[in-house]
Amino acid sequence: MAKLMRLDKYLAEMNKGSRTQIKDAAKKGRIQVNGAVEKKTERKIDPDTDEVSFDGTPVRYRAMEYIMLYKPQGVISATEDKRHKTVIDLLTGENRSDLFPVGRLDIDTEGLLLLTNDGDLTHRLLAPGKHVDKVYFARIAGTLPDTAVEQMAAGLTLNDGTPVMPGKLEILKQWTGQTRQKALEQFSADAETADSAEANAGAEILLTIQEGKFHQVKRMFEALGCHVVFLKRLSMGRLKLDPDLKPGEYRALTEGELELLQK
């Protein structure tokens, strides 16, 4: 038997407003339960069997929700912020009111971000002891040392003395001696960056790490004498960013994807 819950709690969790707003809507006859107008929001209902409508539109209850978001640059990984747009602000339509991002991506980093209200799954994905791989694609300005792969594999010490766990670095391509115009095209950089010596050498890489320290990927490459100019997260555990999603777009996880995260 399903656990009964108050009608106002049901609707608040399904993002239909605060309990005060829902109570006011009920007084105006905007809420129906099983086809009949319901004005008592303290009424207990069965979320599995009772049919609830708000302004004539069915409201289906989802105890847990899992959303894959392609986080764009310029948006912060938070539930609310007074200065910047958040990843929650990107959501439209029917979503729970208690969603939060699993971990964070810097404001200028894009790529895969999972939004959910499942605290247990979040812990499994973020706890350092769980050793969950996170794969990033990056463009680097500067010349990587010949021992970069080995240094990453051994575990770096960041410039401030912070040690980090070993990472797997794969160098996709490297270049040196580019013209100023080529550097501008490669990095979409400003003139000052393109004029620098570092802008004339760079690399595209994949980096797999299992931690999520503040600005970690950027700081790891700074420890190697380079600078990250573009960063995108491609995967988290077995969950990979849907290539059909564009920055700012999102979708619910499939049952198969959810099963991958549970393993």
Task: Give catalytic residue positions.
Answer: 106
Could you tell me if 43 and 94 are in contact, meaning their C-beta atoms sit under 8 angstroms apart?
no
The amino acid at 191? A
Q: What is the DSSP letter of 80?
A: -
Question: For residue 182, what are its two tokens?
Answer: 């080529």
Q: Where are the alpha helices (DSSP H) in the chain?
A: 7-13, 19-27, 119-126, 148-154, 180-187, 191-195, 216-223, 255-262
Max Cα–Cα distance, the chain, nearest Å: 74
CA separation for the pair 232, 73 (Å, rounded): 9
Q: Which residues contact 80 (CB under 8 A, 6 or more apart)?
A: 86, 88
